Structure 1
Amino acid sequence: MSTEKKPLLEVKHLKKYFQVGKKQTLKAVDDVTLEVLKGETFGLVGESGCGKSTFGRTVIQLYEPTSGEVIYDGQAIDASLSANGHREFSRKMQMIFQDPYASLNPRMKVMDIVAEGMDAHQIASGKEREKKVLELLKTVGLSEEHANRFPHEFSGGQRQRVGIARALAVDPEFIICDEPISALDVSIQAQVINLLKELQKKRGLTYLFIAHDLSMVKHISDRIGVMYLGGLVELAESEELFEDPIHPYTRALLSAIPIPDPDAEKGRNRIMLEGSLPNPIDLKEGCRFASRCPHADEVCRKLSPEFKEVKPGHYAACHKAV
């Protein structure tokens, strides 16, 4: 893909399958290949259930991959990596979770929640530990008095800030943001997004930003990948994807974004997908979007399209892509 910057993360043919019952298999992530360049924000979007969160959790090794490669800064992250290697990887890559309440231990005070990573990696203790936590809380827009409170004493936006402080505590290089704003009020979402952008600029962070809100992803991302039923169907620079979407699924997603102009919204041409959503446990041969695609023909129903570069830096998995 792009050679202007060095890839910090390379994912090659990653698969994560789950056994459902005795004989059925759910292909949550199915042969995904992409790279995230150092210092960029890579947005990953798609409908609920498309596999984007599973992809993020598999990359960070919360789930063991079924097959494929995860390469971080030139080092393969697999069973051959030493215990110290895995430990260092877990320090360099952190995650901000979707539900800021469920991801925080309700029995722990914020001081100990934020310091968990520091304790695990033996980064700081005693007065230095306390000082670092208070600095982190200040960094994310909270105050010192918040350190002695429990998660239930905070608003959703404040809890997410605690989650961000916890992720920053071990001084990571790469952060996977798993729908970090979806559980927040719209008025708070922009604050959290602006905080993430500010932290990226100050600390040189790299983000994998997972979301289903395309307008927000456009605002924060340098490049965007679109997932559908476990597979990557399109990938391009943010502006390019919005100006010239190639895959029919991407076009449908973009047409669903509300426009804050009543006249323009009323006169726009929305793409309404018809047909039935395939059973993800029993995917048929051919393009997985064929049953809902208005352009599908016999070739689409029989052959899976190759994920290829259609024009410089713009990739798509579609037989009709030219």
Structure 2
Amino acid sequence: MTSIDDARRAPARTGRVVVTGGAGFLGSHLCTELVARGWEVVCLDNFLTGSPANVAHLMGDERFQLVRCDVTDFIHVPGAVDLVLHFASPASPVDYLQLPIHTLKVGSIGTGHALGLAMEKGARFLIASTSEVYGDPQEHPQREDYWGHVNPIGPRGVYDEAKRYAEALTTAYRTTHGVDTAIVRIFNTYGPRMRPFDGRAIPTFIRQALAGEPLTVAGDGSQTRSVCYVDDLVRGILALADSGEAGPVNIGNPSERTVLEIAQDVVAATGSRSRIDFIERPVDDPTVRRPDTTKAQELLGWAPEVQWQEGLARTVAWFRQELATSA
């Protein structure tokens, strides 16, 4: 099995890559890894949910360029481009509930602009889709041929449908214009550079535990999630980008745990004495969520390697340092 370090020693290819949303949580990790592999990286971000601080460590590298850009307006990148990774989008519930129209525009107009750039440059294009396209699934685990169970007019619909439309548009550019495209469906991911107040379970639990506050678990906590450490996710995304496969391909951890178990593990990992409080469950909150990763294993030779306890310890350590610095 190839590790990130192995891939760095022998990258399959390099060139010039555009990463939209490159200053966000996932985008910044992609930029870091691509630079490490020898790519020239153009990072586009409007900093609505991302931050220049996430890529500050790359600013002195001549292979990295940060450009303030809203993909819903226009994308212009002079020179050759070999790969476009489209990761621009509000992605946490807090963000897309506050920015519903922008979320829909990024998934539609922004995806069209990113695809247009790839077509203009003759570049391979990969879009970050999401497990949210499966909605509150009635099939478990979720395979890529499952069409989903989505409420298009519910509060989560702006994100779900933006990504479903983006997948359809990506497919249309492939079949109509011959653009070399790929679709990755990302399942719950965690790791350093998540925002403490982004509303997702793991950063929320860690922030609450480190502050000695009660951990707020939605419902009775029996709903399940699979959580993948960000290094594993990046490795899977880049394997798909380099493969020539069209997808969609699920990338996520096939191990499943309840939200309550995640909260309990966070309490243990932080050494906190926080109690767990139960709050009302959000509308359309998925009951189960776990990827079938057979395609990723067979087509890409990919499987997650970082164990939950190890990844959680790394993430807690990062949050502890960040919160201490900000304080």
TM-score normalised to structure 1 length = 0.35
Q: Which has the higher contact order (CA 8 A, sep 6+)?
A: 1
Larger helix proportion of the pair: 2
TM-score normalised to structure 2 length = 0.34
Larger strand proportion of the pair: 1
